[in-house]
Amino acid sequence: MTTPTMELHLQQRLAERREQSLYRHRRELGSAQDARIQLNGRTMLQFCSNDYLGHAGHPKLIEAMQAAAKDFGVGGGASHLICGHSSLHHELEERLAEFTGRERALLFSTGYMANLGLIAGLMQRGDHLLEDRLNHASLLDGGLLSGAKMQRFQHSDTADLERRLKKLPHTGQRLIAVDAVYSMDGDLAPLAEMADLARGHNAWLMADDAHGFGVLGERGAGTAEMLGLDTQQLPVLMATLGKALGSFGAFVAGSATLIESLIQFARPYIYTTAMPPAVAAATLASLDLLQSEGWRRQRLAEHIDFFRAEAKRLGLPLMASQTAIQPLMVNDDALALALSRELEARGVLVSAIRPPTVPLGTARLRITLSAAHSREDIEKLLTTLESACWDVAPQLLEFHS
């Protein structure tokens, strides 16, 4: 038997993915992020963006970015440790540290790079890493890259986590790494209970708050603020800037010692060109909006409550989420794809999420709500969902007498 060429091998893999209803397609966006977008030449009412507060296309972010580009140009030019660390980067790090109640913060170009650099920078061979089974791929990949011995405990199961902590040998460092808000389920990690376990078993606790930062908490400072967790309880806090804040990049916040350690040991930080300074300027403008326009978080909360109440009335099978992420459980991959396509044909964009992004047998439509939506937009989503389900997947609806 001859070995297939690279081209043939890749064609076979692609064909398998198509047959399994797991093939992914890109769409061409022709407008700024908003409740309505131009997609492949059509106007679509969209419910799949992570722009939870409607900041991504806000005029103040655009103005700040344009003004900064005049002074700092477009590219970052070099890594932060060479000559790419601008005064705007520095100001943003100081603002983020103050806003999250931490000593210092460190910018990364993406959330994926932040998690890779963070875990691999802190953990080594001989150390012990415990991760939730539903953690984001970047957390899992960071664990694999670190060389530490990694265990994955049952989702948000503190009893399972405690059992595993008790069995660890008394050698090496210990890190518990979780999503604060799970991106595909929308539920929150039991961080307060995990903080108690970490303290009792001499472990560090890390939370990726990509989907909580900007949305949760009294001021929008995220899950840690909402739960009242300080640096001692949650020593490693990571969050992204491209979701609720509407810009780009990520940061890690914690003690001065933690941040200095990452500057020295986090390879994705050391060997990556700094984000454009103009992006940092836009993020600073977004932080100003976050602190002055609390009505956006209130409006989003009202949308979530209304959507869940109406979806329950219609019998739509939503998962138990109180955040802007509202997954509609379909289970079957082909059916999830068909329902997503039917919604798109009717002018409503909702992504079908299938394995390997979620576990086998848990395909769903990942509906995300935003302060940019109106009540009428939410009503349109609900009526379109109901009619599309009747036409494509009537088994999803509960029947009411």
β-partners of residue 45 are 36, 348
Minimal CA–CA distance to 36: which of 389, 370, 327, 382? 370
Judge whether 4 lies within some domain.
no
Judge whether 45 lies within some domain.
yes
Q: How many residues does the chain have?
A: 401
- Identify whether 261 is a catalytic site residue: no
Q: Is 59 helix (H, G, I), strand (E, B) or coil?
A: helix
- Total domains in the chain come to 2
Distance between CA atoms of residues 209 and 110, nearest Å: 13
pLDDT at 2: 56
pLDDT at 133: 97
Judge whether 8 lies within some domain.
no
Compute the C-alpha angle 190/220/372, nearest 5°: 110
Answer yes or no: do 284 and 331 share one domain: no
Distance between CA atoms of residues 286 and 317, nearest Å: 35
Answer yes or no: do 38 and 68 share one domain: no
Distance between CA atoms of residues 346 and 364, nearest Å: 19
- The last residue of one of the domains, among 275, 292, 309, is 292
Minimal CA–CA distance to 252: which of 39, 109, 80? 109
Answer yes or no: do 329 and 306 share one domain: yes
Answer yes or no: do 305 and 382 share one domain: yes
Mean pLDDT to the nearest integer, 185-212: 98
Q: Note whether 368 and 307 are within 8 A (CB).
A: no
- The last residue of one of the domains, among 273, 292, 311, is 292
Minimal CA–CA distance to 111: which of 155, 142, 79? 142
Judge whether 2 lies within some domain.
no
Answer yes or no: do 73 and 202 share one domain: yes
- Identify whether 211 is a catalytic site residue: yes
Judge whether 214 lies within some domain.
yes
Number of CB atoms found within 10 A of residue 157's CB: 14
β-partners of residue 131 are 152, 177
Does residue 106 register a pLDDT over 70? yes
Answer yes or no: do 218 and 341 share one domain: no
Distance between CA atoms of residues 150 and 288, nearest Å: 39
Contacts 24+ apart (CB under 8 A), 240-243: 240/110, 240/111, 240/114, 240/210, 240/213, 241/283, 241/286, 242/50, 242/110, 242/111, 243/50, 243/51, 243/52, 243/210, 243/211, 243/213, 243/214
Task: Share the mean pLDDT of the chain.
Answer: 95
CATH of the domain at 333: 3.90.1150.10
Answer yes or no: do 132 and 192 share one domain: yes
Cβ contacts of 383 within 8 Å, gap of 6 or more: none
Of 89, 128, 211, 373, the catalytic one is: 211
Range in 16-25, 40-49, 272-281, 359-368 the model is least confident about: 16-25
Residue 399 is given by DSSP the state P
Judge whether 18 lies within some domain.
no
Instruction: Give CA 53 to chain center in angstroms.
Output: 14
Range in 149-158, 193-202, 384-393 the model is least confident about: 384-393
- Identify whether 49 is a catalytic site residue: no
Residue 396 is given by DSSP the state G
Judge whether 349 lies within some domain.
yes
Provide the residue range defining the domain that includes 104.
Answer: 59-292
Answer yes or no: do 191 and 237 share one domain: yes
Of 49, 138, 156, 183, the catalytic one is: 183
Judge whether 134 lies within some domain.
yes
Does residue 397 register a pLDDT over 90? no
- The last residue of one of the domains, among 292, 326, 352, is 292
Of 55, 243, 303, 373, the catalytic one is: 243
Does residue 401 register a pLDDT over 80? no
